[in-house]
A and B are shown apart, each in its own frame.
Chain A
Amino acid sequence: MGKERKAILEIEHLHLDYRIGGRFCHAVHDVSLTIHSGEILALVGESGCGKTQTALACMGLQPESAHIGKGKIYFEGRELLSQSKQQWNTLRGKGISMIFQEPMTALNPLVKVGKQIEENGRNHGLGKIQARESTLSMMEKVGLPDVGRLYSCYPHQLSGGMRQRIIIAMALINDPPLLIADEPTTALDVTIQKQIMSLMKTLNKELGTAIMLISHDLGVVSHLCDYVHIMYAGTIVENGPVHMILNKPLHPYTKGLLGSIPSYGKKDQRLDSIAGIVPSLENRPQVGCQFYNRCTQRMASCKNISPHATMRDGHMVACHLYPEEA
């Protein structure tokens, strides 16, 4: 650290709303984050916190019904949200690639996996022979054995771990500067999860691909990432270097998330779980802190005033417990 690195992706005050019952409900509310080249950044939160919506907006893949009210997304200095359809198409798969959660459903079951990887290369200007060569070398890079044979396999012939490797190969064939991985290991077994994690770490080191990892598993995040953003109900409540967040969490939600993780060390004691659940889109408070209803340390000011992000001990937190220093 310390060295000034190039920002790859900058999200500035992104708002993403859905219209429910005649009014706009915020799925993503005022999210700002920056990913530098070669960095692994994590977005952590429970389901329904807007992690995936943020990622989809960076790819221009948000549903038709979503409305991006305010905010800008810059990729290598270029503004993305005002792009035309053609410009999006040249960006996806070449500038930014995405890995989805379910390796079983993300592949086309009727097309050989090699062809599916190759297609992404061909779409971005690789010749026939060139595309095939880079497909095979990419398959080797992601640790698949016997690539000549696997090239002409269909997805159903492969195991979950192998399918996820195929998807990673597909995402990386054009050597994109940024990879968005949406819960890449959630559907996999622990031993396979470990394999995929170490593969992603190696690829990040070797190819210098920046990774935006979306996860709900702080265990995965702690082993893979440099920087963490904790999201709750569409807003970022805390962010900072991973070891800071894990060892000195400040926001009550982050503390709750960490307290909820069961482990052998916590045997014979109850887990400090967070009461309640993430409020659905239409039930979110209009003003004040989003976490108010579930927070154990709430104060009078939390109900009516939205907390502002402040710097504390080297990381950012948005909570009234940590007021701005005068």
Chain B
Amino acid sequence: MRQHDILVECSQLVKEYKGTRNKPVRAVHDLSFSIRQGETFGLVGESGCGKSTLGQLMVRLLEPTSGTVRYTNFQDGRGNRKQEKAMRKENQIIFQDPYSSINPRKRIGWLVEEPLIIHGIGKDAQERKAMVCSILKEVGLDDSYLDRWPRELSGGQRQRVAIAIALILNPSFVVCDEVVSALDVSVQAQVLNLLQELQEKFGLTYLFISHNLQVVSYLSDRIGVMYLGGLVEMGDTEQIYHHCLHPYTKALFSASVDAFDSVKEDLLLSGDIPSPSRSPSGCPFHTRCISCMKRCIEENPRMVEVSPGHFCACHLIQGMNT
């Protein structure tokens, strides 16, 4: 991995919440990875594994308990309000539910214009309006939407508005947090196509969070698999899709139902994901793993590079190497 094309880098990121009886709940636990300029990094995992927390940490909507998020081509602006504002312009996030992420009492034109006003972009209202119209056109809406209310729009149109709001400041890094999971299949395909077009046009870098493996493997260049607050496997989409090593990744891909691909070995995971407030000892996955060994209960495996760019945290793989 060349150092200079990295855009965002996390190292040893930890986010803890206060739980009951002062027991910390570890939402994200000792997580290190980096996202390259211009790529789509897909993040998959079951609900409750800390995907969204990680996404919000990466755009500094949440402060990490320890560890750092570093951006290579702009300041993170910690402690400096001016720099922090500049950082906010480069980082944007699109949320899952377009019904609750948009203010229902403001017109579309106002909503899309607001970031411009906050950041003091554009000389006057006229110029800002022109910018709003051009971004609306980019996301497949037109001028007639300027004076409409969010309630008049369908889910897909609202998500387009949310994308327009995120992109009007011309950011370099966009976190897409389950952006298509609230949409119908045909509309989901429209939004996925739109995200790809915009990425090519504006050279965007995406962190694409989803629990839908088909969507992630379709869109991403690299995939990270999360379980209980940590990454268990990471690599190119091809490596993960065809040669995944971690038992959890295998189970996840076997559980995902693909309409076109019915010949898959059946690995049925029993039980549910443990609560992050009572995470098990050793490897977090050992309670559900089919190939659990004695070592897994005692010792948490570290991430090792199995082949170039392909990382995996499992004692089975480490056992094979040493």
A residues near B (Cβ < 8 Å) are 46-47, 159-162, 189-195, 197-198, 216-223, 246, 256-267, 270-275, 277-278
Contact = CB atoms under 8 A, between A and B. Distances in A.
A44 B184 CA distance: 12
A194 B257 contact: yes
A190 B255 contact: yes
B320 interface: no
B257 A260 contact: no
Nearest to A161: B272
28 contacts: A46-B186, A46-B187, A160-B272, A161-B272, A190-B212, A190-B252, A191-B46, A192-B46, A194-B255, A197-B257, A216-B185, A219-B214, A221-B259, A256-B186, A257-B185, A257-B186, A259-B189, A260-B189, A261-B189, A261-B214, A262-B188, A262-B214, A263-B260, A264-B241, A271-B192, A273-B190, A277-B154, A277-B187
A47 B219 contact: no
Nearest to A46: B184
Contact of A262 (B154, B184, B218, B252): B218
B211 interface: yes
A189 B211 contact: yes
B184 A194 contact: no
Nearest to A189: B46
B184 A47 contact: yes
Nearest to B190: A273
Say whether chain B's binding surface is mostly helix, strand, loop, or mixed. helix
B265 to A, nearest CB: 12
Contacts of A190: 46, 211-213, 252, 255-257
B217 interface: yes
Contacts of A264: 214, 217-218, 237, 241
A223 B217 contact: no
A275 B193 CA distance: 12
Of A162, A221, A266, the most chain B CB neighbours within 10 A belong to A266
Leading 3 A-B pairs by shortest Cβ distance: A273-B189, A262-B218, A219-B257
A275 to B, nearest CB: 7
B62 interface: no
B196 interface: yes
B186 A260 contact: yes
A217 B189 CA distance: 13
B189 A191 contact: no
Of A159, A192, A258, A273, the most chain B CB neighbours within 10 A belong to A273
Interface of B: 46-47, 154, 156, 184-190, 192-193, 196, 211-215, 217-219, 237, 241, 251-252, 254-262, 268-270, 272-273
Contacts of A219: 214, 256-259
A196 B151 CA distance: 35
Contacts of B46: 189-192
A282 B45 CA distance: 40
A185 to B, nearest CB: 9
B257 A191 contact: no
Of A161, A191, A223, A267, the most chain B CB neighbours within 10 A belong to A191
A15 B184 CA distance: 25
A191 B273 CA distance: 10
A263 B258 contact: yes
Contact of A261 (B185, B196, B211, B262): B185
Contacts of B214: 219, 261-264
Contacts of A223: 257, 262
Given A271-B192, A273-B190, A195 B184 contact: no
B219 A262 contact: yes
A279 to B, nearest CB: 10
B188 A258 contact: no
A195 B185 contact: no
B199 to A, nearest CB: 12
B156 A277 contact: yes
Contacts of A216: 184-185
B259 A270 contact: no
B82 to A, nearest CB: 41
A29 B307 CA distance: 57
B255 A191 contact: yes
A272 B189 contact: yes
A194 B156 contact: no
A262 B260 contact: no
A97 to B, nearest CB: 24
A277 B193 CA distance: 15
Given A219-B258, A271-B193, A277-B156, A191 B184 contact: no
Nearest to B269: A191
Contact of B259 (A193, A198, A222, A273): A222
A118 B184 CA distance: 36
B51 to A, nearest CB: 12
Nearest to B49: A189
B272 A266 contact: no
Contacts of A267: 217-218, 237
Contacts of A217: 185, 257
